Amino acid sequence: MSSAGRFEIERVPVTPFHQNCSLVWSPETRHAFIVDPGGDTDKLLARVEAVGLVIDAILLTHGHLDHVGGAAHLYAALEARQGKGSVRLIGPSREDEFLLHSVEAQAAHFGMTDLGSVQPEQYTSDGETLTVLNRTYQVRHIPGHTPGHVVFFDDHDKVLFAGDTLFRGAVGRTDFPYGDGKQLIDSIRRKIIPMGDDVMVLPGHGAPTTIGEERKHNPFLQ
């Protein structure tokens, strides 16, 4: 997924949940960031080395184990390779702190033992802008799947890192004690749909789609 002036994006499925971790980099500088490293840290580090990248940041959309379970290990490994203070660890909204701090408990529920809790250096909030790789990313708080779920929007390349909010033909699960289906749909309609039909949506699971495709055909948005 690249063209002149665009960032390269490679989606790397991780964990038994086949969560789409995104590796994003500038072809000119080879500097990069990673979105939602849920696990399989050795696999991710091998890709970073194979492509020849320097990782500037790790971004987390929400606190579920398949999205954040490898973040602490990856952060430590990258800091050891690149130098202390070389990587920013950016979390979702603070409402997901209880999930970020309970990854081991989440993993034990599925019989998984190789994932760990994580403490971001900073949390994000709705309407905030992040500068990563000298590009601005808009943060939108999209609660419902989890209380603190955020998405990251690159208006330059028209790409949305959507986590578990919007999928091809579906939306994120809300059958959790803290889930809220109405809140999720309302947030998608108010904060994601207006980004524009041409925006590429990179969901946490499954194939990419566009906002236009989902606006027209997603049964949960009709």
Domains of the chain as residue ranges with CATH: 8-221 (3.60.15.10)
Query: Is the model's pTM score more than 0.75?
Result: yes
Taking alpha carbons only, the member of 93, 101, 112, 91 closest to residue 17 is 112
Q: Which amino acid is at 71?
A: A
Burial classification of residue 175, based on how many CB atoms lie within 10 Å of its CB (0-12 exposed, 13-18 middle, 19 or more buried): exposed
Phi, psi at 59, each rounded to 5°: -115, 135
Half-sphere exposure of 133 (CA within 13 A, CB side): 26
pLDDT per residue as tens digits for the range 97-144: 999 999 999 999 999 989 999 999 999 999 999 999 999 999 999 999
Question: What is the DSSP track for 49-81?
Answer: HHHT-EEEEEE-S---HHHHTTHHHHHHHHHHH
Query: Any residues with CB less than 8 A from the CB of 213 and at least 6 apart, and which?
Result: 168
pLDDT per residue as tens digits for the range 132-172: 999 999 999 999 999 999 999 999 999 999 999 999 999 99
CA–CA separation, 193 and 209 (whole Å): 13
